[in-house]
Structure 1
Amino acid sequence: MLVYQRTDSPLLSAITFAISYLPWLVGGPLLSTLADRFPRHRVLIATDAARALLVAGMAVPGTPLPLLLGLLFVVAVCGPPFESARSALVADVLDGDRYALATSLTNVGSQVAQVLGFVLGGTLVAILSPSAALLLDAATFAVSAVWLWARLQRRPAPDDGGGTERPRSMWRDAAEGLRLIGRTPRLLAIIAVTWVGMLFANASEGIAAPLVEQLGQGPAQVGVLLGANPAGVTVGGLLIARALTQERRERLVPHLVVLSLAPILLAGLVTVWSGPGSGAYAAVVALMFVAGLGAAWSIPLNVAFVQSVPPAYRGRAFGVAVSGLYGVQGIGALGAGALAEGLTAGTVVGLIGALGLLAVVPPLVGYLRTQGHVAAAPPAAGPSEA
């Protein structure tokens, strides 16, 4: 909102949104190796503390726009090691059905946080200012760092069984994560569905501000619109986590992927045909909520992927998968913003939904063909991996 208010440019607004994703694409696999090289609790605490300081710097009134975007980029750089360490740590602590349920609940909790964050953020921007909202955001990172320091059990860094005689290289660790995925058809199929599905499912978020403006609404409604999809994921995640086994969840994935994209096409059509008005805005919010219900497909795929990876490789393998996931979301937001420079936001949203339904077909075919396949064995290692 701050960038859109200053520039009135959908593309620059989308670039700002995409910056939080792009570090995953350019450095995610490398940075994620930190989760396998150091004690994971230390990685979590250090990255949250760093983000608290950086976001506080963004809140300084009158910060030049290039510096603001630069700080945002560095904040996003902290994401790969944090998320990789968090996911790997959960898998270290829990296994079997307990891990599957914990992963589902963690995803649901994350979506609830996004809903509250988007809505609260939009409200704070309208009532106070973007700088005040950023300062409060910095405080949340500080609270998280202190909470993790006080409550998280200390665990040693994971052992990959390679022995202490070999010097550890971040580049080699990242390459090992890529090779593990590359020789496992099932992991490749899961990644393909996830990347292509998310590329189109979340692209419209990059043009939320101009879309809401086209619908005749204000800044607070941007937060509500952005919160609609995570709200749907929350409800859908609770339903499939509590009512279905992991096997049935995986069988539902193709249907859920279609459900996550078709409402986006309809939302674009509603915006174009109806024009400005609260009725059209409410319909678009409802359709984004339904798309979120379908986007709960990410939960069973997350569980299936992480459980297929050996413990000592989870940080780097998860980093590769999520790096691409966040990267394609950034690319999607940038593409949507570029199109919105020449087309109306509603037209772009409709195109995103239509193209997504077509593009996701080949990955889903590969996913169905590899159902029942097991993950490739990790490289030969010492007794600690046996």
Structure 2
Amino acid sequence: MSLKKPISLLKNRNFLLLWCAYFISAMGDHLSEMEILRMQNALGEGVDIIPLQARMMFVFFIPFFLFGPLMGMLADRYPRRGLMIFADIARIALMLFFATLIIWLSPYSADWGPYLPLLFVGLFAAMFSPARSAMLPTLIEDEQLVEANALIRGVGVLATIISAVLGGWLADNMPGVAFKADAATFAASAILVFFIIAPKSDRTQVVREERFIPQIAGGVRYILCHRRVMQLIIFGTVYWFSAAGLNSIVPAVVKHSFGLKSYQDVSMFRAYLVVGMVLGSGALFVLKDALRSEVAITWSLIGAGLAGTLMAVSTISWWSNSVAYVLGAIGIMVAGFFGSGLITSYNALLQRIVPDRYRGRVYGVLDLCTMTGLLLACGVLGIPHWEKIDRWCGLIAMGIGMLMLAVGLTSLVIRHTNQPDPIGLSITRGFNEFFCRFWYKLKRVGPCTVPREGPVIITANHSATPDPLMIYAECHHRRISFLVAKEYTGIPVAKWFIGSIACIPVERDANDANSAREALRRLKNGDALGIFIEGRIPDPGEVAEPKNGVAMLALRSGATVIPVGISGTVFRDGIAAGFFAPHRATIRFGEPVDLSEFPSKPSHEELNAATKKIHGAILDLVELNKVQPRD
């Protein structure tokens, strides 16, 4: 097993090329939006801007809805790099003639004609999207997925900031130039993608001779058989529905609630959204895999829901324009922060759990579902001829906020339904896991081998004060009750945690028969106990002798013994100093220790031998951490 540190993303040539290509093409996706609105006189007196904005998004994204699964199948069937280049070249041609196409098509429909050229641009964007998302995991290591998606999301929204401001300026000062600039961005993207050296992947497992429809159906069957994938697609759908709704009402909020009238004002307010998204991506880049994607998704939904509610509050008429603007800016920035966390996390999780041979089709279905949400929001706002709909932008924002909040709370309940702890303690467990991974730099090597049921003793070397927290952080499916020194129960926060996971206090300097009897009773009830075989934290350089308690309890109860090796911690004298000290901890769970050679009522020599065997298994894991270091 190789634990060699993967090459840094910022030194990974293929990733950098994909990253830069995405940055440039993301600029192209938004650069001409203000120019299209300008051609429709969107900020003129008496013009409702929400339907215009909604129609523009509707037309661009409907190919994702109509052809998402087909494009995903192509990404599994053909070289992904080639599909991306072809999509870029097609968009270059379209953007060069975009203004002419608008003029030609406008007479056919006053409402929809100006936006029909976007239908073809969206078609090739729908081809580009699943190919890019499916290619990314083949260029990097699994442990880099959150970091990579955060970088991609961050640079994408940075491109949106630039394109929003630049697009607004071009619309006000250089009409028509934005379309040519768009063509240049897609040309640059195609050149960068061309130089990516795509590795050979599992894509060859998809049989090309099989017909298109059965291949698409195979991807759908895979999704229907995997509940986690279905849940992630639902979360993505809610995100895009909500994002489309908020994006559509931004011009109306700026125009009516804040009293601002220029295209640049609309672009600048939208920039707060993408600033929040950049900050959200930056936070996940710093945290890397310290925050589990499932946890990030739940709290991102809740946070975005609260932010949408704040944006709705900003539209209330009793605020002055300046106060309303500040509240709205905070709301949309926070929405961007959590929205970025949501989309980054569900993408990283999908890329991690979906095999490469299905990944393109899964992303194709994801595009279908997410664009269904987007088109539903845009269609409801843009297709009917609502009377003075701009005046209802506050209620629309409130509805979106309540939807995301409800889905986030539902996600919280679902995620904790099958957990071994009550929901309050389960949230605490999640915070403990985050703290250990972020502050202690905790990394688990290999799987957690603790059985899901039955009596079990998890026993480890004792290297630092937070050792129990580290074990608890990396065993998600069992509630582990530790044998702890009685003095820890006098510390307020520790006392609550010790009580909540039903730890057993032990008199450190006495032969505590009551604690031993309680531990034996718990094991006979099928519980999981955590015991440090050495009984205490040894001083630096000291070799601690193991105690016989673990072996005695295991043999008397018949409990499974799981050895755990902890390394990379630093010694600090004192409970608080040890708890807050930064570590670089590695934890490794071993296979169950075979104690079948020993009787249930061992002699003193047999008990010593069993203890030596258990302790030896622990030391082997600690030594393995040194031989196969995490970096």
Which structure's residues are more often helix, by fraction?
1
SS of 1:103 mapped into structure 2? helix
Aligned to 2:164: 118
- Contact 1:260–1:291 under 8 Å retained in 2: yes
Give the aligned partner of residue 93 of structure 1: 139
Given that residues 65 and 372 in structure 2 are in contact (C-alpha distance below 8 angstroms), is that contact kept between their aligned partners in structure 1? Answer: yes
Distance 1:332-1:360 versus aligned 2 partners, 3 A rule: farther
- Is the partner of 2:317 in helix, strand or coil? helix
Taking structure 1 as the reference length, the TM-score comes to: 0.86
1:327 maps onto 2:375 in alignment: no
Counterpart position of 2:492: none
Task: Supply the distance in 1 between the matched residues of 2:130 and 2:295 (Cα, whole angstroms).
Answer: 26
Contact 1:36–1:157 (CA under 8 A) maintained in structure 2? no
CA deviation after TM superposition for structure 1 residue 75, in Å: 0.5
Aligned pair partner of 1:242 in 286, 294, 300? 286
The residue type paired with residue 89 of structure 2 is A
**Over residues 345-381 of structure 1, what are the superposed CA-to-partner deviations in whole Å (9 max), with x where a residue is unaligned?**
23322332234423554455435547889xxxxxxxx
Tell me the residue number matched to 1:71: 117
C-alpha distance in structure 2 between counterparts of 1:265 and 1:148, whole Å: 40
Displacement of 1:12 in angstroms is 3.4
Structure 1, 6-15 or 137-146: larger mean CA deviation = 6-15
Instruction: Quote the offset at 1:310 in angstroms.
Output: 0.9
Distance in 1, Cα, partners of 2:132 & 2:173: 34
Is the CA contact (8 Å cut-off) linking 1:201 and 1:356 kept in structure 2?
A: no
Matching of residue 25 in structure 1 with residue 65 in structure 2 = yes
Q: Distance in 2 between matches of 1:191 and 1:258?
A: 17
Cα distance in structure 2, aligned partners of 1:268 and 1:39: 45
Q: Secondary structure at 2:259's aligned position in 1?
A: coil
3-state SS in 2 of match to 1:272: coil
Deviation string, structure 1 residues 112-131 (Cα, Å, up to 9, x no partner): 112222222122212222x2
90, 114, 133: which one aligns with 1:50: 90
Specify which of 24, 38, 43 is matched with residue 2 of structure 1.
38
Aligned position for 1:283:
327
The one-letter amino acid paired with 2:259 is G
Return the offset for 1:225.
2.3
Residues 18, 246 of structure 1: alpha-carbon distance in 2 compared, 3 angstrom cutoff: farther
Q: Does 1:313 align with 2:362?
A: no
Give, in angstroms, the shift of residue 185 of structure 1.
1.0
Alignment of 1:125-164 (within 5 A): 125-129=171-175, 131-149=176-194, 151-153=195-197, 159-161=203-205, 163=207
Task: Tell me: higher relative CO, structure 1 or 2? Use CA pairs within 8 A at least 6 residues apart.
Answer: 1
Aligned-residue offset at 1:156: 6.2
For the residue of structure 2 that corresponds to 1:59, the secondary structure is helix
| Distance in structure 2 (CA, Å) of the matches to 1:272 and 1:339 | 24
Q: Deviations over 1:78-137 (max 9, x none)?
A: 1222111111111112122123322221121112112222222122212222x2222211
Q: Does 1:34 align with 2:74?
A: yes
**Contact residue 40 and residue 155 of structure 1 kept, 8 A:** no
Equivalent position of 1:376 in the other structure: none
Q: Distance in 2 between matches of 1:162 and 1:78?
A: 23
User: What are the Cα deviations for residues 270-317 of structure 1, in whole angstroms up to 9, with x where unaligned?
Assistant: 123246734423431221011111111221221111111111111111
Q: CA deviation at 1:72?
A: 0.2
Asked if 1:304 corresponds to 2:358, the answer is no
Alignment pair present for 1:179 and 2:221: yes
Q: Which 10-residue stretch deviates more, 254-263 or 2-11?
A: 2-11
Deviates more, 1:238-247 or 1:79-88: 238-247
Runs (4+) of structure 1 exceeding 6 A deviation are 370-373
AA at the equivalent of 2:372: G
Give the match for residue 225 of structure 1: 269
Runs (5+) with no aligned partner, structure 1: 374-386
2:232 pairs with one of 190, 193, 204: 190
Based on CA coordinates, which of the two structures has the bigger radius of gyration?
A: 2
Find the aligned partners of 1:321 and 1:213 in 2 and give their Cα distance: 34
Separation of aligned partners in 1, 2:398 and 2:274: 20
What is the root-mean-square deviation of aligned Cα atoms in Å? 2.7
- 2:309 matched to 1:269? no
The alignment-based identity, stated in percent, is 23
Find the counterpart in structure 1 of residue 259 from structure 2.
Answer: 216
**Deviation of the 1:77 alpha carbon:** 1.0
- 1:378 counterpart residue number: none
Q: Which has the higher strand share?
A: 2
Partners of 1:41 and 1:161 in 2: CA distance: 18
Distance 1:366 1:322, change over 3 A: farther
Classify the secondary structure of the residue corresponding to 1:349.
Answer: helix
Pick closer, same or farther for the CA change 1:232–1:260 going to 2, 3 Å. same
Where 2:203 maps in the other structure, the secondary structure is coil
Query: Contact (CA 8 Å) 1:91, 1:99: kept in 2 or not?
Result: yes
Structure 1 match to 2:303: 259
Counterpart CA distance in 2 for 1:144 and 1:134 is 16
Whichever residue aligns with residue 396 of structure 2, its letter is V
Partner residue, 2:148 = 102
Cα offsets for 1:49-76 (capped at 9, x unmatched):
1111112221337444355422101110
- Quote how far apart the aligned CAs of 1:234 are: 1.4
Preserved contact between residue 212 and residue 222 of structure 1 (Cα < 8 Å): yes
Q: What is the letter of the counterpart of residue 17 of structure 1?
A: M
- The one-letter code of the counterpart of 2:161 is V
Counterpart check, 1:350 vs 2:398: yes
Contact 1:28 1:320 in 2 (8 A): yes
Which residue type is aligned with residue 75 of structure 2? Answer: A
**Counterpart Cα distance in 1 of 2:271 and 2:371:** 18
Residue pair 2:144, 2:288 contacting (<8 A) in 1 also? no
Separation (CA, whole Å) in 2 of partners of 1:111 and 1:328: 21
Q: Take 1:195 and 1:33, find their aligned partners in 2: how far apart are those partners?
A: 20
**Amino acid aligned to 1:94:** I
Q: Is contact 2:304-2:404 (8 Å) kept?
A: no
C-alpha contact (below 8 Å) 2:150/2:281 kept by paired residues:
yes
- Is this contact kept in 1: 2:91–2:121, CA < 8 A? yes
Q: Structure 2-normalised TM-score? A: 0.54
- 1:212-231 CA distance string (max 9 Å, x none): 21121121111122232222
Length, aligned pairs only: 369
Q: Does the CA-based 8 Å contact 1:55-1:137 persist in structure 2?
A: yes
Using a 3 Å threshold, how does the CA distance of structure 1 residues 126 and 369 change in structure 2: closer, same or farther?
farther
